[in-house]
């Protein structure tokens, strides 16, 4: 089993869960990871080089998924546009580049941990999830946990992850803080912006986004 692993801070609780899950299940000897930014993981999933991954919403439309995603109820802090007269996509992104265009926001798209650091530094920005919520009063779904096969395994992962109270060990927080240059306290505050359950309102937000995109 090959899982596409995006090592952004927004999936830190899920990665902690998966370590425990694979240790306590028969998957412990067979789960392997391929790492990359969202745009790279999208490509690996679409070419079937990974069996499952959190896939950018814009790429997940026609693929099987469980009710897990990367979701912002309001602001997200890590998907920004730096206002500018010239549009510039973030090469690590897929969905966020499209979202900026859907919202008609001009400038440079910035996502992930570097965007979070930019936000925390207090630099001028527009939070795309907040703008989406202002326009629609709905959450924004940035990614979905998609799979090619083994539906029951991923349904089990969904069920167990959503009922778990994930406490991130201090040593993992320390490692994440060192890697990203974001303080442990700021990481925990940031994670409060992220939801993972694809509930009814999140599904409505996702449907509205798809309706606005010209595929």
Instruction: Please give the Cα distance from 79 to 125 (Å, whole number).
Output: 10
Answer yes or no: pTM beyond 0.85.
yes
Neighbours of 156 (CB within 10 A): 15
The helix (H) or strand (E) run that includes residue 6 is none
**What are the phi and psi torsion angles at 162 (to 5°)?**
-70, -25
- pLDDT tens-place values along the chain, 215 residues long: 789 999 899 999 999 999 888 876 665 546 678 888 999 999 999 999 999 999 999 999 999 999 999 999 999 999 999 999 889 999 999 899 999 999 999 999 999 999 999 999 999 999 999 999 999 999 999 999 999 999 999 999 999 999 999 999 999 999 999 999 999 999 999 999 999 999 999 999 999 999 999 76
Question: What is the per-residue pLDDT for 215?
Answer: 62
Question: What is the per-residue pLDDT for 27?
Answer: 55
To the nearest 10 degrees (0 to 180), the angle between helices 12-23 and 151-163 is 120
Which CATH class name applies to 2-198? alpha beta
Q: Give the residue among 104, 110, 56 at the shortest CA–CA distance from 81.
A: 110
Question: What is the per-residue pLDDT for 214?
Answer: 73
* Domain boundaries of the chain, sorted by first residue: 2-198
């Amino acid at each position: 089993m090959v899982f596409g692993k995006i090592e952004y801070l927004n999936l830190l609780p899920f990665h902690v869960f998966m370590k425990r899950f694979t240790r306590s299940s028969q998957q412990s000897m067979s789960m392997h990871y391929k790492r990359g930014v969202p745009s790279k993981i999208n490509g690996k999933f679409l070419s079937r080089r990974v069996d499952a991954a959190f896939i950018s919403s814009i790429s997940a439309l026609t693929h099987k998924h469980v009710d897990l995603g990367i979701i912002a109820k309001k602001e997200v802090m890590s998907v920004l546009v730096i206002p500018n007269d010239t549009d510039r996509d973030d090469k690590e992104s897929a969905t966020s580049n499209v979202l900026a265009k859907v919202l008609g926001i001009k400038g440079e798209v910035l996502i992930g941990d570097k965007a979070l650091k930019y936000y925390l530094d207090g630099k001028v920005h527009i939070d795309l999830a907040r703008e989406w919520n202002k326009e629609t009063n709905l959450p924004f779904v940035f990614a979905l946990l998609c799979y090619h096969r083994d539906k029951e395994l991923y349904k089990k992962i969904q069920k167990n992850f959503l009922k778990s109270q994930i406490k991130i060990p201090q040593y993992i927080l320390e490692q994440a803080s060192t890697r990203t240059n974001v303080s442990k306290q700021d990481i925990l505050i940031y994670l409060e912006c992220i939801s993972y359950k694809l509930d009814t309102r999140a599904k409505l937000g996702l449907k509205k986004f798809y309706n606005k995109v010209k595929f």
